[in-house]
Amino acid sequence: MKLATWDCEDWRVRAHCRDVDPGLFFPVGVTGEAEVQIRRAKRVCADCDVRLECLEFALRTNQEFGIWGGKDEEERRVIRRIRRLQRRAVSRAI
């Protein structure tokens, strides 16, 4: 997997969401209709060939909002937190 960056469009042209209304991936809120929208967006991501590249892009560029790589904002916060703890543990072990 290549590093996903803003200027690297290769992964984007293969994304399943390319032909979907971008608004689907940016629900307003997390309850009610937004829950339905989040599930729909994650279903688009579920079978996408570049899901991991998309997620990594969102993590590396600190995308705070929306569904990226099948993960919502809170799920990405958890991933960032875990990675921070892992980096600290490695730096302490050295």
| pLDDT digit string, tens, across residues 31-64 | 999 999 999 999 999 999 999 999 999 999 999 9
C-beta separation of 66 from 29 below 8 A: no
Tokens of 44: 């688009």
Q: Which residues of 26-65 are buried (b: 16+ CB within 10 A; e: fewer)?
A: ebeeeeeeeeebbeebbebbeebebbebbbbbbbeeebee
Q: Render pLDDT for 73-89 as a digit per residue (tens, 0 to 9).
A: 999 999 999 999 999 98
- Predicted structure pTM score: 0.84
